[in-house]
Amino acid sequence: MPKNKQFNKEIVLEAAAGIFRQKGYNGTSIDDILTATGLSRSSLYDSFQDKHNLYLKSLEFYKDSNDKKIQTVDEKNLNGLEKLETMFKSVVNHLVEHPDDNGCLLVNAAAEMSKQCFKTSQVVCNNKDEVQDILSSWISDAEQKKVLKLHKPAKIYGQFLYNTLCGLRVMSQSGAGKTELNNVVKVALDSLN
């Protein structure tokens, strides 16, 4: 049978997501992608159709690996509030320790592409709804375990905390430092009581 593929699709998608995150969709050239992924021109078009398709595939890959990170927190033996704290701490840590690492591809995609590409907007919107649901479930859990006493339905706090999360990504790209981001998280989590 034929020669095997000489690259790993997931590694390529991760590298592609990285370069799209740095330079945006329109700011990234095919040559940028080739050097970032190590792929040859032919392999790229053979395996990923074209630039736009590769963008969508790497956006979905990025979303999936984001989901997995959240699931890792979810599987820990913690109550909902502790899960929230863990998650926010790791998000802020990542933002602070990788200031050059250019923000969240999903946020960047929402800003640059969501109104021009329906499929991008679908991924971005699905991510929003899914993350909100997980956050809401953590909040419900904290309420059930009497760690929190809510004044509003858990779903609303899920929406609020997702908003906080989006804000953190933008603020980090707007030059906010560690203290600033930690302050935001502190007020947001305190507001649950």
Asked if 107 touches its own copies (CB under 8 A), the answer is yes
Does position 66 bind its own copies by CB under 8 A?
A: no
d(CA 138, CA 79): 7
78 counts as binding its own copies under rule CB under 8 A: no
31 binds, options DNA, its own copies, none, Cβ within 5 to 8 A by partner type: DNA
Q: DSSP 3-state assignment of 192?
A: coil
Given candidates 3, 68, 77, 175, which one binds its own copies under the rule CB under 8 A?
Answer: 175
- In the numeric block, which tokens belong to residue 134? 């997980």
Amino acid at 159: Q
Among 30, 70, 73, 170, binds DNA (CB under 7 A): 30
40: contact with DNA by CB under 7 A: yes
Nearest to 171 by CA among 190, 150, 188, 148: 188
Radius of gyration (C-alpha) of the chain in whole angstroms: 19
Which of 100, 103, 104, 24 minimizes the C-alpha distance to 62? 104
Q: Which span sits near its own copies by CB under 8 A: 32-40, 60-68, 72-80, 101-109?
A: 101-109
Output DSSP code: residue 108: H
State the binding string over 7-36 for its own copies (x if CB under 8 A, else -). ---------------xxxxxx---------
The token pair at 98 is 């990788």
Number of neighbours of residue 6 by Cβ within 10 angstroms: 9
Q: Contact at 8 Å (CB) between 168 and 106?
A: no
Kindly list the residues in this chain that would bind its own copies in the complex (CB under 8 A). 22-27, 100, 102-103, 107-108, 110-112, 114-116, 121, 124-125, 127-128, 151-152, 156-157, 159-160, 162-171, 173-176, 180, 183-184, 186-188, 190-191
Which spans of this chain sit near DNA (rule: CB under 7 A)? 1-7, 28-31, 39-43, 45-47, 50-52
